[in-house]
């Protein structure tokens, strides 16, 4: 992905906010600013890379020494300052940051992603940077990340299409009388996405298949989150299939419905509600509208339909370097929607028997309106499994 | 296989003078709930959770509403204060939910021991704002000390995770054997097969996955790209969880019979690892294990990559105390679970890595990852036979 536009956008925002520099430690923000995906970062606790950006030309990453060469090999062209292992690596990192920002004009504040830095990390930073004002850059980062560049949009739309193709491909292997297990299907989801070219997606690269009674809950067979179990999908069941796939550090978030045979009236009605609510969300998705307006539109339509909509999940969210990010199509988020946002309309309804159907559509908000990512097939109806092969 | 953490935990809590514990670090939340959460570190700041444990043993969780079923299904029988996506940004929403639940019990005065200096600063601020009259005593070290010494139940879970990881490697390797002269076999497929086979053999979760070949193997991590090539060294890595307890694993393969220098490089790694293992003793300083490995490498002229230390603890997280890093004076206690992670470099540049998981016992370290010894470089050979 060409990152020049993104880098330019970041440095322009920095100057507009009169920040001396931007300093981030959150793995998602680190990836956003470096373009390098290191999936293990969230579990490294005190051993995080810290990225400092002054301008398009002046960028540095203070990184655990073991990760230094990975950063460069993966395409980071800024400076790399490795810090060694030891009893207090966060203090070492803070010391290097202090050296980096020492040349900033006196009084120029340092914008920091306060939502990610731990209190302990911040204390070390403050000790290493006496007199330097640290201010929250969370809003700045959220604003930057939620409006994508053309290159990001192209990647996200391509990935969404690959993922939809993968989900459909996995469904093609299901027959009503075949009796495949949920575990098998979870893996088939992954494999078919990988075959389309997505990356190995560790950690929260979720694949979920929940059928019949397992579909009545969000996390069947916990703590085996999204890896499925031995339960076989049975004739007549509705099957919820969810897939989070990743490519070059960006994410797709998908959910589709499979029925094991022709949908029964409850399944058909529930699925129709899901589609109606999706249409309501799309109708409300306009530049200048607020994120909460989309939620309100879905809420109103659900009431009209008498749909058992699970409103607690909201109506959707942004997607980018994480599968779940701002803006949030919820009751509280008053973010004005802008062209360039890529969103996942994420809706769930409950059937009379308790099963949860979930549908997720990736949509880009263009100036002229919402543009759905290409799908492998028309999903106006659930995928109906063949009787047998 | 219960984790059995509560008797020693409550005993330690009773000696602090605190009314209870309040945790915001995801692994501490899982620890107090004795339940794993769905990817909590990867969904921050949106979906934080908080856990309370009182001196009387009563528990309370504040978490996203769709996680409530996930923890109760794992046997959590405390109270739950759930919040949903419409309750506002995650940190204040979780903090308010916890504060309201504590207020409902008349527990807003504290003092509460917290781990909030290791949690995002914004979460700590939200908790402080939501509990204005409550005395919060930051003491992350107290939490770390509790988690450092594992119960037999915790060690059993780590042992299962360790051997599920080995199953993952073995399964992937078995599928790879006999294919290398016939089909282009992608690194992605090898990695995915590690995951599948770990899951087929008990694993509850697979976290990290890495497959690095040839020049890419000179680095800690790069995305898996390309196809398996004859003559290459391949490094497989994964982290595996079982019922919320984690460990890490790595193994090395040569594609075809190893060249003499490849085999020698692997044996060099095992030499350094043996020195580290010899120093891994209850009562030793964590830094001494590192020093033993570094000294063995120096004496033998082996290219030792000590910048990552030589290992760390595992448990509710895949990397935690004790950290086997230079200069650490931390004393290794009986009951700690440790991954020995010794990294050296082959003359051709690839990192050579092997990991094993041990429980520290008074009479020496007990190998938990016993299923498959990786003491020789594994050669991928053979031919394909339809059967």
Q: What is the pLDDT of residue B26?
A: 96
Judge: B121–A122 Cβ closer than 8 Å, yes or no: yes
Mean pLDDT over B134-144 rounds to 96
- pLDDT for A236-255, tens place per residue? 999 999 999 999 999 999 99
Q: Would you call A190 an interface residue with chain B, using a CB distance cutoff of 8 Å?
A: yes
Contact residues, A window 93-132, toward B, CB-based 8 Å cutoff: 114-123
Binding-face residues of A in 61-90 toward B, CB within 8 A = 64-67, 69-70, 73-74, 82, 84-87
| Range 254-293 of A in CB contact (< 8 A) with B | none
Whether residues A42 and B191 touch (CB distance < 8 A) is answered with no
Residue A338 neighbours by CB distance under 10 Å = 14
Q: Residue B247: its pLDDT value, please?
A: 97
Q: Who among B195, B209, B221 is closest to A38 (CB)? A: B221
**Ordered alpha helix ranges (H), A41-149:** 68-73, 89-101, 119-128, 138-146
Mean pLDDT of B184-188: 92
Question: Other C-beta atoms within 10 Å of A308: how many?
Answer: 17
Banded pLDDT at A178 (limits 50, 70, 90): confident
CA-nearest of A182, A147, A210 to A356 is A210
Spatial CB neighbours of B120, under 8 Å, sequence gap ≥ 6: A114, A115, A116, A117, A118, A119, B24, B44, B45, B48, B91
Query: Looking at chain A, which residue has its C-alpha nearest residue B321?
Result: A87
Whether B205 and A324 lie within 8 Å, measured CB to CB = no
**pLDDT tens-digit map of B163-180:** 999 999 999 999 999 887
CA of residue B205 relative to chain centroid, distance:
11
pLDDT value at residue B2: 63
What chain B residue is nearest to A190 in terms of C-alpha separation?
Answer: B192
**Model confidence band, residue A204 (pLDDT cutoffs 50, 70, 90):** confident
Q: Do A225 and B39 touch (CB under 8 A)?
A: yes
pLDDT at A147: 98
Q: Which chain A residues are closer than 8 Å to B36 by Cβ?
A: 222-223, 225
pLDDT score recorded for residue A249: 96
Cβ-based contacts of B200 with chain A (< 8 Å): 183
Percent of chain A with pLDDT over 70: 100
Mean pLDDT lowest among A20-29, B178-187, B335-344: B178-187
Q: Which residues does chain A have within 8 Å of residue B319's beta carbon, measured at their own beta carbons?
A: 43-45
Residue to mutate among B39, B47, B71, B141, with most A CBs inside 10 A, is B39
Sheet containing B205-213, strands listed edge to edge, beginning at the edge strand earlier in sequence: B205-213, B233-242, B245-255, B378-380
The whole-number pLDDT of residue A344 equals: 98
Spatial distance between the Cα atoms of A21 and A93, rounded to a whole number of angstroms: 16
pLDDT confidence tier of residue B1, bands split at 50, 70 and 90: low
Round the average pLDDT of chain A to a whole number and report it. 95
pLDDT band for A107, please (50, 70, 90 cuts): confident
ipTM: 0.96
A119 and B239 within 8 Å at the Cβ level: the answer is: no
Identify all chain A residues contacting B241, using CB atoms and an 8 Å cutoff.
Answer: 223
Does the beta-carbon distance from B120 to A225 stay under 8 Å? Answer: no
Q: Dihedral angle at the C-alpha atoms of B147, B148, B154, B159, nearest 10 degrees?
A: 140
Which residues of chain A are within 8 Å of residue B69 when distances are taken between CB atoms? 217-219, 222
Q: Are B107 and B119 in contact (CB under 8 A)?
A: no
Interval B33-48: pLDDT, tens: 999 999 898 888 889 9
Q: How confident is the model at residue B18 (pLDDT cuts 50, 70, 90)?
A: very high
pLDDT at B95: 98
CB contact under 8 Å between B323 and A66, yes or no, is no
Quick one: pLDDT band at residue B160, thresholds 50, 70, 90? very high
Residue B181: pLDDT above 80? Answer: no
Tell me whether residues A67 and B319 touch, CB distance under 8 A: no
Q: Does the pLDDT of residue B79 top 80, yes or no?
A: yes
Residue B207's contacts (CB-CB under 8 Å, 6 or more residues apart) are A40, A43, A202, A203, B238, B239, B240, B241, B246, B318
User: Which DSSP helix (H) or strand (E) runs through A294?
Assistant: helix A291-305
Tokens of B369: 């990852």
* Cα B24-A65-B227 angle, rounded to 5 deg: 95
Summarize the confidence of residues A371-386 as an average pLDDT.
Answer: 96
Angle at A23 between CA A82 and CA A43, to 5 degrees: 60
Give the pLDDT band (50/70/90) at residue A179.
confident
Residue A276: both structure tokens together: 């109606």
Residue A164 clears pLDDT 90, i.e. is over it: yes
| H or E segment and range at residue A13 | helix A4-16
Mutate to test the interface with B, among A219, A309, A310, A328 (most CBs of B within 10 A): A219
Side-chain-side CA neighbours of residue A197 (13 Å): 8
Query: How many beta-carbon pairs below 8 A join chains A and B?
Result: 210
Q: Which residue stretches of chain B are H helix?
A: 6-14, 26-33, 68-72, 90-104, 121-130, 140-148, 152-176, 187-200, 260-279, 286-300
pLDDT computed for residue B44 by the predictor? 81
Which token pair is B122? 């914004």
What is the predicted pLDDT for the residue at B385? 67
Band of pLDDT at residue A389, cut at 50, 70 and 90:
confident
A contacts of B326 (beta carbons < 8 Å): 84-86
Beta-carbon contacts of residue A269 (< 8 Å; ≥ 6 apart): none
Determine, for residues A73 and B219 on separate chains, whether the beta-carbon distance falls below 8 Å.
yes
- Among candidates B43, B138, B219 on the partner chain, residue whose Cβ is nearest the Cβ of A324: B43
DSSP assignment of A191-248 equals HHHHHHTPBP--TT--EEEEEGGGGGSSSTTTTSTTT--SPBP-TT-EEEEEEEEEET
- Does residue A106 carry a pLDDT above 90? no
pLDDT-based confidence at B386, cuts 50/70/90? low
Q: Is the pLDDT of residue A57 over 80?
A: no
| Residue-level pLDDT at A359 | 98
A218-to-A23, A226, A310 alpha-carbon distances in Å: 36, 10, 11
How far apart CA B371 and CA B356 sit, in angstroms, is 11
- Calculate how close chain B gets to A202, using CA atoms only, in Å: 5
pLDDT per residue over B240-255, tens digit each? 999 999 999 999 999 9
**pLDDT digits over B255-314, tens only?**
999 999 999 999 999 999 999 999 999 999 999 999 999 999 999 999 999 999 999 999
Please give the average per-residue pLDDT across B221-231, as a whole number.
95
Please give the torsion angle defined by the CA atoms of residues B99, B102, B104 and B108, in that order, rounded to the nearest 10 degrees: -90
Among the partner residues A40, A73, A311, nearest to B222 by beta-carbon distance? A73
Give the whole-number percent of chain A exceeding pLDDT 90. 87
Which of B85, B140, B224 has the CB atom closest to A328's CB atom? B85
B131 backbone dihedrals φ, ψ, rounded to 5°: -125, 65
According to the model, what pLDDT value does residue B323 have?
A: 96
């Amino acid at each position: 992905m060409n990152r020049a536009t993104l880098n330019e956008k970041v440095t322009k925002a920095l100057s507009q906010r009169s920040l001396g520099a931007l300093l981030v430690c959150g793995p998602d923000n680190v990836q956003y600013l470096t373009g390098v995906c290191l999936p293990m970062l969230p579990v490294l606790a005190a051993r995080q890379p810290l990225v400092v950006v002054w301008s398009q030309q002046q960028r540095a990453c203070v990184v655990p020494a073991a990760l230094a060469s990975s950063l460069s090999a993966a395409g980071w062209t800024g400076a790399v300052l490795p810090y060694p292992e030891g009893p207090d690596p966060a203090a070492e990192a803070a010391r290097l940051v202090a050296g980096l920002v020492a040349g900033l004009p006196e009084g120029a504040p340092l914008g920091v992603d306060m939502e990610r830095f731990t209190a302990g990390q911040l204390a070390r930073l403050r000790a290493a940077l006496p007199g330097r004002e640290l201010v929250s850059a969370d809003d700045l980062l959220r604003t930057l990340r939620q409006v994508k560049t053309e290159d990001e949009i192209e990647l996200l739309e391509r990935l969404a299409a690959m993922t939809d193709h993968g989900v459909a491909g996995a469904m093609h292997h299901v027959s009503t009388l075949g009796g495949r297990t949920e575990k098998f299907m979870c893996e088939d989801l992954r494999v078919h996405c990988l075959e389309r070219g997505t990356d190995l997606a560790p950690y929260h690269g979720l694949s979920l298949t929940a059928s019949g009674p397992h579909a009545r809950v969000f996390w069947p067979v916990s703590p085996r989150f999204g890896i499925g179990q031995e339960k076989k999908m049975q004739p007549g069941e509705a099957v919820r299939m969810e897939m989070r796939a990743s490519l070059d550090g960006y994410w797709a978030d998908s959910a589709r419905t499979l029925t094991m045979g022709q949908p029964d009236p409850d399944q058909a009605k529930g699925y129709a509600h899901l589609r109606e609510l999706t249409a309501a969300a799309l109708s409300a998705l306009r530049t200048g509208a607020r994120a909460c307006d989309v939620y309100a539109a879905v809420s109103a339509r659900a009431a009209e339909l008498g749909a058992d909509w699970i409103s607690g999940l909201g109506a959707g969210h942004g997607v980018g370097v994480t599968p779940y990010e701002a803006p949030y199509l919820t009751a509280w988020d008053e973010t004005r929607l802008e062209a360039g946002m890529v969103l996942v309309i994420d809706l769930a309804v409950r059937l009379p028997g308790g099963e949860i159907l979930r549908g997720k559509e990736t949509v880009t908000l263009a100036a002229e309106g919402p543009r759905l990512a290409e799908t492998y097939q028309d999903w106006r109806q659930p995928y109906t499994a063949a009787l047998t092969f | 296989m219960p984790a059995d953490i509560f008797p020693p935990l409550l005993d330690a809590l009773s000696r602090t003078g605190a009314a209870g514990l309040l945790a915001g670090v995801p692994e501490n939340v899982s620890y107090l709930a004795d339940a794993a959460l769905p990817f909590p570190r990867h969904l921050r700041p949106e979906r934080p959770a908080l856990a309370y444990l009182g001196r009387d043993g009563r528990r309370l969780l504040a978490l996203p509403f769709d996680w409530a079923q996930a923890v109760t299904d794992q046997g959590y029988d405390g109270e739950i204060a759930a919040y949903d996506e419409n309750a506002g940004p995650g940190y204040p929403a979780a903090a308010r939910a916890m504060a309201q639940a504590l207020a409902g019990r008349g527990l807003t005065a504290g003092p509460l021991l917290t781990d909030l200096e290791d949690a995002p600063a914004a979460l700590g601020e939200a908790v402080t704002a939501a509990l204005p009259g409550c005395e919060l005593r930051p003491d992350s070290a107290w939490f770390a000390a509790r988690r450092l010494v594992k119960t037999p139940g915790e060690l059993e879970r780590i042992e299962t995770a360790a051997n599920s990881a080995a199953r993952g490697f073995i399964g992937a390797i078995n599928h790879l054997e006999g294919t290398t002269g016939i089909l282009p076999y992608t690194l992605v497929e090898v990695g995915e097969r590690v995951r599948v086979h770990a899951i087929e053999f008990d694993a509850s979760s697979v976290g990290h996955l890495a497959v690095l070949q040839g020049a890419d193997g000179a680095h800690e991590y790069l995305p898996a790209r390309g196809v398996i090539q004859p003559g290459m060294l391949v490094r497989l890595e994964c982290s595996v969880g079982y019922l919320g307890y984690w460990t890490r694993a790595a193994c090395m393969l040569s594609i075809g019979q190893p060249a003499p220098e490849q085999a020698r490089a692997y044996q060099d790694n095992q030499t350094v690892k043996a020195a580290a293992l010899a120093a891994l003793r209850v009562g030793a300083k964590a830094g001494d294990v590192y020093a033993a490995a570094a000294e063995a490498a120096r004496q033998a002229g082996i290219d030792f990559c000590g910048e990552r230390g030589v290992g760390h603890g595992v448990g509710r997280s895949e990397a935690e105390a004790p950290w086997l890093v230079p200069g650490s004076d931390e004393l290794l206690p009986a009951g700690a679970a440790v991954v020995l992670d010794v990294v050296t470099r082959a003359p051709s540049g690839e990192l050579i890595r092997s990991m094993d998981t041990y429980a520290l016992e008074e009479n020496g370290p007990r190998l938990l990852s016993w299923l498959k010894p990786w003491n020789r470089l594994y050669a991928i050979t053979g031919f394909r036979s339809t059967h």
